[in-house]
């Protein structure tokens, strides 16, 4: 470990020198006056006074030197479309989109909400914001109108970019009615909605004074030239909402300069991808991996990036590997859930294609179990690198940094703290854990470049959410349990708060509870994350009804369960639907009224419910056991 250990030590002990070196990986309009300004902890400003632009670093500088090289590869196995954009072509499309924005009155610092399927125009929409200094807020296309409305009201966008529909498993998933409903629910709806009409939802509704057609405006601005707007390093680049332990999602605010440098450095040191190579991340732009490693990271590194609309099983379980062979993918990024899905398919699909271009596969989004790690590594015959990070950090916190040292892989472990992160495991009293002792994963500030600079519009929430658990000294709390062995390898053991990981997507149990309670028959509910072989975790709901007669037969229980699930679908989207809704007479609480969620979760997973000396009514646990037993 000597080589990487020294690299990591320098990043902490000689912070300014280390990050000044990394800053040379990007193009600056004006160099930084100060590398790290930590004068107002826990807030930090990186590359203060420096001016740069994310879109310039991702597109223009490559278009100038290698205009004809591949930049964006759009593949949809849903509509059977495939289109390759060179860097020069990508720049033209981004300039057209930027001109449309300006035509619609979007200015520097304005928010643009992007609610899109995985199509090329979604990439143009994000990059065009970065080009003119607008702040994008991408909302995952699977979210329902209620979730979209809360994000509209928090970001207050002047424009929304959407589409008539997405496609999933061969069926159109209409978007436009959700956009209209969200705009009705929102207190601050956008003045304009730009629609990319894919022809998938023929009769989608149009709002005359508000909705504008992308194809028409693109034709109008076909020859547009839009120069980049140089931004001071700390100006926001985007907002990305992440589930919180309260119902209101948090807008993670990212800066411009620090993020650009962090991604450039990660592409060199962690992902080891360079000019002319191709990266394939199987995520969605609605999540942080999509921002960092579908759109910005690969392009900053001069790589081609693959934007894929489809599932890992259509037309068959070989589709991803077919793409790897065709485009000579060298770096791939996916989630443990996807590996578990593929593990159930015929292994012949992994042997059918030439995967010799693939250097390594990265997996993140939820804890990776040893069995899946071992299986995929032996099947592919390449290093499979588990890495751990959060929406908040924007890039990996734990990983093997192969670009510096090719350390030994430990199955099921995301390995070592990444350079820039002074990451340690803490006891709840703030003292540091010893080897093999479970504790809370924390980072001694300042947070490195690329991490969130604050919570959008809520500086006090940034401090109270992330820096209030440990105050002497002040430490960033990840809210994840972790453990470090005697050789420095880390393992993540799951959340310590009420956020669960469903197939790599973070969902707040509180949000699901609020959705369940919109059903008039429900008096009270507890939602917990329960271990699931395929998806990592699934939400399970335990509900108390207002009137016992509504669930006094199996038929009534089944009907009500269906109705409750529909409420969750309508409020949050199918992604948040509980695996089961169990109806019981009361929920286990302490005498002071605190819900014993951990005990409920333990019972649902067939474990011991733990210390119950404080429980008010022990019969509630018997009811949960009976409900689980069917």
Structure tokens at 106: 């979007």
Residue 508: strand pairing partners: 499
DSSP-assigned letters across all residues of 54-93? HHIIIIIHHHHH-TTSEEEEEEETTTTEEEEEEHHHHHHH
d(CA 75, CA 95): 22
pLDDT of res. 1: 45
**CA–CA–CA angle 594, 599, 603 (5° rounding):** 150
Give every CB contact of residue 92 below 8 A, 6+ residues apart in sequence.
none
d(CA 325, CA 547): 59
**Taking the CB of residue 598, how many other CB atoms lie within 10 A of it?**
14
Tell me whether residue 458 is exposed, middle or buried, using C-beta atoms within 10 angstroms of its C-beta: 0 to 12, 13 to 18, 19 or more.
Answer: middle
d(CA 20, CA 4): 19
Backbone phi and psi for residue 532, each to the nearest 5 degrees, phi listed first: -135, 130
d(CA 518, CA 172): 28
pLDDT of res. 590: 62
CA 309 to chain centre: 17
Q: Find the helix or strand (DSSP H, E) in which 444 lies.
A: none
d(CA 137, CA 154): 10
Q: Find the helix or strand (DSSP H, E) in which 173 lies.
A: strand 171-174
Three-state secondary structure call for residue 220:
helix
Evaluate whether 442 touches 470 at the Cβ level (below 8 Å): yes
Evaluate whether 253 touches 270 at the Cβ level (below 8 Å): no
Mean pLDDT by 10 residues, the chain (630 residues): 88 98 98 98 98 98 98 98 98 98 98 98 98 97 89 97 95 95 97 98 93 98 98 98 73 98 98 97 94 98 97 94 98 90 88 96 88 92 97 98 97 96 95 94 98 98 95 93 95 79 79 86 90 90 92 94 94 91 87 72 86 72 89
Residue pLDDT, tens place only, 325-354: 999 999 999 998 888 888 888 989 999 999
**CA–CA–CA angle 426, 432, 437 (5° rounding):** 70
Q: Measure Cα distances from 268 to 25, 56, 330, 331, 584 in Å.
A: 9, 18, 13, 12, 54
pTM of the model: 0.86
pLDDT of res. 356: 97
Three-state secondary structure call for residue 11:
helix
Evaluate whether 463 touches 455 at the Cβ level (below 8 Å): no
In terms of DSSP H, where are the helices of 157-220?
176-185, 214-220
Backbone phi and psi for residue 106, each to the nearest 5 degrees, phi listed first: -75, 130
pLDDT of res. 2: 57
- Looking at residue 110, the DSSP 8-state letter turns out to be -
| Closest by Cα among 598, 579, 27, 603 to 302 | 27
Q: Name the fold adopted by 499-628.
A: GMP Synthetase; Chain A, domain 3 (3.30.300)
* All structural domains of the chain with their residue ranges: 499-628
Q: Measure Cα distances from 326 to 260, 284, 347, 356, 384 in Å.
A: 29, 21, 20, 11, 21
Q: Find the helix or strand (DSSP H, E) in which 266 lies.
A: helix 257-269
Three-state secondary structure call for residue 619:
helix
Q: CA torsion sign, 464 to 37 to 260 to 420?
A: negative
Evaluate whether 465 touches 250 at the Cβ level (below 8 Å): yes
**Taking the CB of residue 217, how many other CB atoms lie within 10 A of it?**
18
**CA–CA–CA angle 425, 426, 430 (5° rounding):** 160
Residue ranges of E strands in 358-422: 360-363, 384-386, 398-399, 416-417
- Looking at residue 409, the DSSP 8-state letter turns out to be P
pLDDT of res. 613: 57
pLDDT of res. 594: 59
């Amino acid at each position: 470990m000597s080589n990487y250990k020294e690299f990591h030590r320098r990043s902490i002990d000689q912070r300014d020198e280390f990050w000044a070196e990394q800053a040379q990986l990007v193009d600056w309009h004006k160099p930084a006056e100060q590398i790290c300004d930590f004068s107002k902890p826990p807030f930090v400003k990186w590359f203060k006074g420096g001016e740069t632009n994310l879109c310039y670093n991702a597109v223009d500088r490559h278009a100038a030197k290698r205009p004809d090289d591949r930049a964006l590869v759009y593949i949809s196995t849903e509509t059977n479309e495939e289109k390759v954009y060179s860097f020069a072509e990508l720049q033209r499309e981004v300039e057209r989109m930027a001109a449309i924005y300006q035509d619609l009155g979007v200015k520097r610092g304005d928010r643009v909400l992007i609610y899109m399927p995985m199509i090329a125009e979604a990439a143009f929409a994000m990059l065009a914001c970065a080009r003119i200094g607008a702040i994008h807020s991408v909302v995952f296309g699977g979210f329902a109108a209620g979730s979209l409305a809360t994000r509209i009201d928090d970001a207050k966008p002047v424009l929304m970019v959407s589409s008539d529909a997405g496609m999933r498993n061969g069926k159109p998933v209409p978007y436009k009615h959700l956009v209209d409903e969200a705009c009705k629910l929102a207190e601050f709806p956008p003045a304009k909605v730009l629609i990319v009409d894919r022809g998938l939802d023929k009769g989608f509704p149009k709002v005359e004074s508000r909705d504008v057609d992308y194809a028409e405006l693109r034709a109008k601005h076909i020859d547009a030239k839009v120069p980049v707007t140089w931004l001071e390093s700390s100006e926001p680049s985007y907002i990305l909402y992440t589930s919180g332990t309260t119902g209101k999602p948090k807008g993670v605010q990212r800066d411009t300069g620090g993020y650009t440098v962090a991604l450039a450095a990660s592409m060199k040191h962690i992902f080891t991808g360079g000019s002319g190579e191709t990266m394939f991340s199987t995520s969605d732009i609605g999540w942080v991996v999509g921002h960092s490693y579908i759109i910005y990271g690969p392009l900053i590194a001069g790589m081609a990036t693959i934007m894929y609309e489809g599932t890992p099983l259509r037309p068959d379980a070989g589709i991803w590997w077919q793409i790897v062979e065709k485009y000579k993918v060298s770096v791939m990024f996916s989630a443990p859930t996807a590996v578990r899905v593929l593990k159930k398919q015929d292994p012949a699909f992994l042997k059918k294609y030439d995967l010799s271009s693939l250097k390594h596969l990265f997996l993140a989004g939820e804890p990776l179990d040893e069995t899946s790690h071992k299986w995929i590594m032996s099947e592919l015959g390449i290093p499979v690198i588990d890495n751990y990070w959060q929406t908040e950090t924007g890039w990996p916190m734990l990983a093997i940094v192969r670009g510096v040292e090719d350390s030994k892989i430990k199955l099921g472990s995301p390995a070592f703290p990444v350079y820039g992160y002074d990451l340690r495991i803490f006891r709840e009293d703030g003292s540091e854990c010893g080897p093999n002792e479970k504790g809370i994963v924390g980072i001694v500030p300042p947070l490195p470049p690329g991490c969130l600079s604050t919570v959008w519009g809520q500086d006090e929430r940034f401090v109270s959410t992330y820096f209030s658990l440990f105050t002497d000294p002040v430490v960033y709390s990840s809210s994840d349990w972790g453990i470090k062995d005697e050789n420095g390898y880390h393992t993540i053991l799951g959340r310590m708060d009420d956020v669960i990981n469903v197939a790599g997507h973070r969902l707040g149990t509180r949000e699901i509870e609020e959705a369940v309670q919109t059903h008039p028959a429900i008096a009270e509910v507890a939602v917990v994350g329960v271990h699931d072989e395929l998806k990592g975790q699934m939400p399970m709901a335990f509900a108390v009804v207002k009137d016992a007669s509504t669930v006094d037969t199996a038929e009534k229980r089944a009907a009500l369960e269906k109705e409750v699930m529909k409420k969750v679908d309508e409020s949050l989207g199918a992604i948040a639907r509980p695996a089961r809704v169990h109806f019981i007479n009361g929920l286990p609480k302490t005498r002071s009224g605190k819900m014993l969620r951990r005990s409920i979760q333990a019972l649902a997973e067939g474990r011991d419910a733990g210390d119950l000396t404080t429980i008010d009514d022990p019969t509630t646990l018997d009811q949960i056991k009976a409900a689980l037993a069917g």
